[in-house]
Amino acid sequence: MTGRVVVVTGGATGIGGGIARRFGRAGDLVVLNDIDAEAAERTAADIRADGGRCAVVVGDVRSAGTVLLVRDEALRVGGGRIDVLVNNVGDFRPASRTFLHSTEEQWQDLNEINLLHVLRMCHAVLPIMVDQGSGAVINNSTVEAFRGIPGHAVYSAYNAGVSAFTRSLAVEVAGSGVRVNAIAPDLADTGQTPAAAMLRGRDPDLLRTWVPVGRFGRPEDYAAVVEFLAGEGAGFVTGQTIPVDGGTLAASGWYARADRKGWTNLPNEA
């Protein structure tokens, strides 16, 4: 068997779907987990139609039982190896208007979908990687872990936790041949955050005023960085969170002027 054994959680659609397809095209055996059985099978069929290999584990990764099912299926189909783990699942929902309107139940839900399952998946898979002396983990954080986001303070906090966990875990396991990194997406045009919903009737040409590269992200943009972080070209990269955001975090509140005459930090002048 050639290629790596790659686990992708939330791998049916959006960023996860792009990641799963990219590894499939690279000749890797993709173990795709998702809560949506139909979407998972569609993506698996696409991978196989392109000549790739894919196993599907349907289930909610927030469940400790699903985590073990994913690990065990990867070991079964992969001959006892797991080479890459992509913890892709995350969501800003359930959301509330402000932190003061939020509830502890929402906090717990956001913890389970953004941070807790990352800990569980790593806890389940890392012993295999350590024993084999190699492996790469890529977590999905967000640029909102590094800047304020009104109305989503708890979501931001848990994703900051993902990036902090990534740094510290990377130090722990580096001596065992395992690297741990993360990506921090922004403005992904997916079913979860469609471009039309983000624009809300605004002129698409104005995108360049608040996204320096002038467009929304596509699943393949994020997948390409994940593939890099999993590969030999990133062999000396660990403990990092890479923003994949078209420059929004770097701009940090600066906006291109609508009249194309430079930049402003006052959005009403854009």
> Is residue 190 domain-resident?
yes
How confident is the model at residue 254, as a pLDDT?
Answer: 76
> Is residue 263 domain-resident?
no
CA distance readout (Å), 174 to 118, 188, 236, 239, 267:
18, 31, 10, 9, 43
How confident is the model at residue 201, as a pLDDT?
Answer: 80
What is the spatial distance between Cα 135 and Cα 71, in angstroms, rounded to a whole number? 14
Active site residue 155: yes
> Is residue 16 domain-resident?
yes
Residue range of the domain that includes 171 = 5-194+215-246
Domain count across the chain:
1
> Is residue 267 domain-resident?
no
- Residue 16 · residue 10 · CB < 8 Å: yes
What is the spatial distance between Cα 194 and Cα 222, in angstroms, rounded to a whole number? 15
> Is residue 119 domain-resident?
yes
What is the spatial distance between Cα 70 and Cα 85, in angstroms, rounded to a whole number? 11
> Is residue 264 domain-resident?
no
> Is residue 260 domain-resident?
no
How confident is the model at residue 140, as a pLDDT?
Answer: 97
Token pair in block for residue 264: 């402003």
How confident is the model at residue 84, as a pLDDT?
Answer: 98
How confident is the model at residue 269, as a pLDDT?
Answer: 60
Distance linking the first and last C-alpha atoms of the chain: 55
Q: Residues of the chain whose pLDDT is less than 50? A: 1
> Is residue 50 domain-resident?
yes
pLDDT mean across residues, the chain: 93
- Residue by residue, DSSP assigns 45-108 as HHHHHTT-EEEEEES-TTSHHHHHHHHHHHHHHTTT---EEEE------S--SSGGG--HHHHH
The CATH number assigned to the domain holding 94 equals 3.40.50.720
How confident is the model at residue 1, as a pLDDT?
Answer: 42
